[in-house]
Amino acid sequence: MVKSSVLGYPRIGADREWKKALEAFWSGKLEESEFHSQVQNIRLNHLRKQQEKGIDFIPVNDFSYYDHILDTAAMFGIIPKRFAYESGVVPLSVYYGIARGTKEATASEMTKWFNTNYHYIVPELDGVTPIITENKPLLAYREAKEKLGIEGKPVIVGPLTFLKLSKGYELSETDEWLAKLIPLYVKILQELAQEGVQWVQIDEPILVTKLNAADLQRLKTIYGAFAAAVPSLNIMLQTYFESIENYTDIVTLPVKGIGLDFVHGLSGNISSIQKSGFPADKVLGAGIIDGRGIWKASLHEKLALLDKLNEHVTPNQLIVQSSCSLLHVPVTVRNETKLVTELKDALAFADEKLDELVLITKAISTGKAFITDELERCEHALLALKQSGERNRNDIQQAVAAISAQQPVRNLPFSERHIVQQKKWQLPIFPTTTIGSFPQSIEVRNARQQWRKGVWNNDQYASFIRDQIDIWIKLQEEIGLDVLVHGEFERTDMVEFFGEKLAGFAFTQYGWVQSYGSRCVKPPIIFGDVAFEEAMTVEETKYAQSKTEHPVKGMLTGPITIMNWSFVREDITREQIAYQLAYALRQEVEALENAGIGMIQVDEPAVREGLPLKEKDQANYLEWAVKAFRMTTCTVQDTTQIHTHMCYCEFHDMIDSIEAMDADVISIETSRSHGELIHSFELNTYKLGIGLGVYDIHSPRIPRVEEMTSMIERALRVLDPELFWINPDCGLKTRGLEETVQSLRNMVEATQIARAQHSVIK
């Protein structure tokens, strides 16, 4: 009999009750015991839901108080020394200290979970001796069994993935570390087996990246040790997010099941199975329901895919499952009341995906005839969206086809534009500027609330925004900045603001997903053809420009960032979506230019995030991402200066692509990349305008003049002074007014020192 399985379920709850519980506990509003009981309720609710829907293999230990990698580290007592942990179960104060920092100790680093927007806490191995603090999967298994009679499937992060995602050890120490971890894993698994656990899911997503011979040997050692110690336990070796590399090595490991992603790694995994077959003594976890996408699955297509797999495995060998944990999608579509029917009917969030899994399993066990109604309803919904006006805008499709067939190049090469621009703008050496936003005070947020609620009318709100602009234009002039900004007071979020004004976007009411810890994001949905409707930023920018003699930079979010921070349609490629966005944003760039704005910044902080996991796909992505940026910006006059901004990631390995974007000036986050970025400019000269962020805006601390002076000096050792700008690392919207003004004053002072220094050298 074919079975259904889930790899993990969202923690946050349909109404973000998990987030609320965590934050109430952190702020001292919830006692620890009350907190535990609230969290347990949430956890049991999620299990109950899967049980009621009829999922066969329900995951346990996928739930977390913050992050599953942090949980794994805590389970093995991998606690950085600075948290003064001694022994026993890790207390919540220490656990949350690692995640969020304490008065005495800084938090551990956090980084992106593969190519998702989820962030995990990076384990620090230096100086610790791993031990088992508590068998968390066992506790989770017992709880599900005792409270709900569920025969759960414990989920554990595998040793190879865990090690590869950790830091604080040398590569040459990898085997030493494995030798320490394997016995602990074995102990955990033995206790599970003793308890009567049938299946465990061991997650090894690292298997979709390139592995070397040593890693393959390590896999044999790890899974060989597990098989020898707990032969009775069925291990599902689970991979996701892409197809596995080294298929034949992996499917011959001594485990009972192999879980593969047939959504995001479809072509690679299918062709491996077709080429090499699938071992008859193993179970195939067929991840066919997209754990990361928000769309309904075409049941027809999925059944056809299973038919294909059935040529290589028997029904007894098949488990139908989600492609990865459902952590990456919102909880349910059910509560959405504001979406157009065509869109709502075509969506499937976590709960709806549970239904899909159960349906498909039923269809292959009992025959398609048993789900005819559902099949029909599903195809009907998908067809309705496909045929909707929003997805069939001929005007847009033709225009985008035409402009994407052209080479997006500026009229003059940078070296010549630069001269024309210098002549027009007459900027001093080392021009100073900021990244766009200024502090969003409580006053600003309240004003927006009043306006959204309808208490304030449009005029009242617009006049409030103009007052803020007035204040900040004056402040910027007083501080002595060269290129000013209007401050972005009318925006909450840099993607949402544009999404709300462009056609083709929809916004859910409850479509939250966990980004890190208790922080959730609600990505817009790009469901139709994206189209420019009317100017989005011209009014405020023009107003700001009317108040000063200094140039005011227009401020837009770039096509790739908008795309990477949204859920997108899947009937056309991401490349096509990027070009549609580029075409729409180009019209905004032109509108700004026509309104007399001569400097325009197109932010692309998220370029790096869309980078495919497989090296072989990366160049192609970068190529069209660069092209989309150039499409957005290439039609302006020679004198118009295009700026861009990047942050959040380390960019040192993609400088060539950044240069190819051909922005006249880039401002880029530097202070957190520990000099790596500067170092990369020693190796390649950067030939366009560039401002390396001279101070970190993530901290309320006011940077001293000397700190910035030394940053500037370091940068000038590798960058051309004639092309060098001075700016903070990122936008200032999360900062307070006083600290912002003082920090910027210090920045200007550091600039004056640099200018004086420079004229001496000259």
Phi, psi of 372 (to 5 degrees): -55, -45
Q: Which stretch binds ligand GLN (CB under 6 A): 180-188, 217-225, 246-254, 435-443?
A: 435-443
If binding is defined by CB under 6 A, does position 558 make contact with ligand GLN? Answer: no
Q: How far is the CB of 501 from ligand GLN (least distance, A)?
A: 16
What is the rounded distance in angstroms from the CA atom of residue 350 to the CA atom of residue 290? Answer: 10
If binding is defined by CB under 6 A, does position 645 make contact with ligand GLN? Answer: yes
Size of the site for ligand GLN (CB under 6 A): 13
Partner interacting with residue 140 (select from Zn ion, ligand GLN, none; CB below 5-8 Å by kind): none
What is the rounded distance in angstroms from the CA atom of residue 119 to the CA atom of residue 569? Answer: 24
Q: How far is the CB of 536 from ligand GLN (least distance, A)?
A: 14
Q: How far is CA 39 from the centre of its chain?
A: 25
What is the rounded distance in angstroms from the CA atom of residue 378 to the CA atom of residue 345? Answer: 8
Compare residues 564 and 751 and give the one whose CB is closer to ligand GLN: 564
593: which residues sit within 8 A by CB, 6+ positions away?
Answer: 600, 636, 637, 640
Compare residues 43 and 735 and give the one whose CB is closer to ligand GLN: 735
What is the rounded distance in angstroms from the CA atom of residue 415 to the CA atom of residue 395? Answer: 36
Q: Do residues 233 and 197 make contact, with C-beta atoms less than 8 angstroms apart?
A: yes
Compare residues 330 and 731 and give the one whose CB is closer to ligand GLN: 731
Partner interacting with residue 363 (select from ligand GLN, Zn ion, none; CB below 5-8 Å by kind): none
Q: Which stretch binds ligand GLN (CB under 6 A): 249-257, 290-298, 687-695, 725-733?
A: 725-733
Amino acid identity, residue 209? T
Site string for ligand GLN, 562-591 (x = CB under 6 A): ------------------------------
Q: How far is the CB of 423 from Zn ion (least distance, A)?
A: 30
If binding is defined by CB under 6 A, does position 330 make contact with ligand GLN? Answer: no
719: which residues sit within 8 A by CB, 6+ positions away?
Answer: 681, 686, 690, 692
Catalytic residue among 36, 312, 698, 758: 698
If one counts every other C-beta atom within 10 angstroms of the C-beta of residue 108, the result is 25
If binding is defined by CB under 6 A, does position 437 make contact with ligand GLN? Answer: yes
Partner interacting with residue 79 (select from ligand GLN, Zn ion, none; CB below 5-8 Å by kind): none
If one counts every other C-beta atom within 10 angstroms of the C-beta of residue 463, the result is 10
Q: Which of residues 9-38 bind ligand GLN (CB under 6 A)?
A: none
What DSSP string runs through 652-696?
GGGHHHHHHT--SEEEE--GGGTTHHHHHHHHS---SEEEEE-S-
Compare residues 205 and 731 and give the one whose CB is closer to ligand GLN: 731
Phi, psi of 431 (to 5 degrees): -60, 145
| Continuous segment of H or E residues that includes residue 306 | helix 299-310
Partner interacting with residue 393 (select from ligand GLN, Zn ion, none; CB below 5-8 Å by kind): none
Q: Which of residues 60-89 bind ligand GLN (CB under 6 A)?
A: none
Partner interacting with residue 690 (select from ligand GLN, Zn ion, none; CB below 5-8 Å by kind): none
Interface with Zn ion (CB under 5 A)? 605, 647, 730
If one counts every other C-beta atom within 10 angstroms of the C-beta of residue 210, the result is 12
Q: Positive or negative CA dihedral for 219, 224, 226, 231?
A: positive
Site string for ligand GLN, 229-258 (x = CB under 6 A): ------------------------------
Nearest to 277, CA basis, from 289, 285, 288, 269: 269
Compare residues 83 and 648 and give the one whose CB is closer to ligand GLN: 648
Task: Supply angle C-alpha 578, 580, 585, rounded to 5.
Answer: 90
| Continuous segment of H or E residues that includes residue 307 | helix 299-310
Compare residues 559 and 731 and give the one whose CB is closer to ligand GLN: 731
Compare residues 437 and 468 and give the one whose CB is closer to ligand GLN: 437
Structure tokens at 762: 């000259």
* 300 is known as an active-site residue: no
If binding is defined by CB under 6 A, does position 189 make contact with ligand GLN? Answer: no
Given strand 283-289, what is the order of strands in its sheet?
3-5, 318-322, 283-289, 257-261, 234-238, 199-203, 153-157, 59-60
- Nearest position to ligand GLN, beta carbon: 731
Q: How far is the CB of 364 from ligand GLN (least distance, A)?
A: 46
Q: How far is the CB of 578 from ligand GLN (least distance, A)?
A: 18
If binding is defined by CB under 6 A, does position 728 make contact with ligand GLN? Answer: no
Compare residues 317 and 434 and give the one whose CB is closer to ligand GLN: 434
What is the rounded distance in angstroms from the CA atom of residue 233 to the CA atom of residue 194? Answer: 9
If one counts every other C-beta atom within 10 angstroms of the C-beta of residue 707, the result is 16
Out of 10, 431, 511, 731, which residue is the one contacting ligand GLN (CB under 6 A)? 731
Compare residues 39 and 494 and give the one whose CB is closer to ligand GLN: 494
Out of 13, 265, 285, 436, which residue is the one contacting ligand GLN (CB under 6 A)? 436
Out of 593, 603, 662, 729, which residue is the one contacting ligand GLN (CB under 6 A)? 603
Compare residues 239 and 644 and give the one whose CB is closer to Zn ion: 644
Q: How far is the CB of 570 from ligand GLN (least distance, A)?
A: 26
Q: How far is the CB of 432 from ligand GLN (least distance, A)?
A: 15
If binding is defined by CB under 6 A, does position 693 make contact with ligand GLN? Answer: no
Compare residues 313 and 666 and give the one whose CB is closer to Zn ion: 666
* DSSP conformation class of 167: B
Compare residues 289 and 589 and give the one whose CB is closer to ligand GLN: 589
Out of 605, 610, 693, 728, which residue is the one contacting ligand GLN (CB under 6 A)? 605
What is the rounded distance in angstroms from the CA atom of residue 224 to the CA atom of residue 160? Answer: 13
Task: Supply angle C-alpha 573, 269, 217, rounded to 5.
Answer: 130
Out of 73, 318, 494, 581, which residue is the one contacting ligand GLN (CB under 6 A)? 494
Q: Do residues 318 and 2 make contact, with C-beta atoms less than 8 angstroms apart?
A: yes
Helices (DSSP H) in 565-684: which residue ranges?
574-594, 615-633, 655-660, 676-683
Site string for ligand GLN, 647-686 (x = CB under 6 A): x---------------------------------------
Distances (CA, A) of 74 to 120, 121, 455, 672, 739: 13, 11, 49, 26, 37
Partner interacting with residue 733 (select from ligand GLN, Zn ion, none; CB below 5-8 Å by kind): ligand GLN
Site string for ligand GLN, 440-479 (x = CB under 6 A): ----------------------------------------
Partner interacting with residue 511 (select from ligand GLN, Zn ion, none; CB below 5-8 Å by kind): none
Long-range contacts of 42-47 (CB under 8 A, 24+ apart): 42/11, 42/13, 42/17, 42/18, 43/143, 44/143, 44/147, 44/148, 45/13, 46/9, 46/10, 46/11, 46/13, 47/144, 47/148, 47/150, 47/152
List 154's β-bridge partners, or say none: 60
Out of 733, 740, 744, 751, which residue is the one contacting ligand GLN (CB under 6 A)? 733
If binding is defined by CB under 6 A, does position 523 make contact with ligand GLN? Answer: no
366: which residues sit within 8 A by CB, 6+ positions away?
Answer: none
If binding is defined by CB under 6 A, does position 486 make contact with ligand GLN? Answer: no
| Continuous segment of H or E residues that includes residue 202 | strand 199-203
Compare residues 80 and 605 and give the one whose CB is closer to Zn ion: 605
Partner interacting with residue 494 (select from Zn ion, ligand GLN, none; CB below 5-8 Å by kind): ligand GLN
Q: How far is the CB of 498 from ligand GLN (least distance, A)?
A: 12
Out of 730, 744, 748, 754, which residue is the one contacting ligand GLN (CB under 6 A)? 730
Q: What does the binding site for ligand GLN look like in residue numbers (CB under 6 A)?
A: 435-437, 488, 494, 555, 603, 605, 645, 647, 730-731, 733
**Residues with catalytic function:** 698
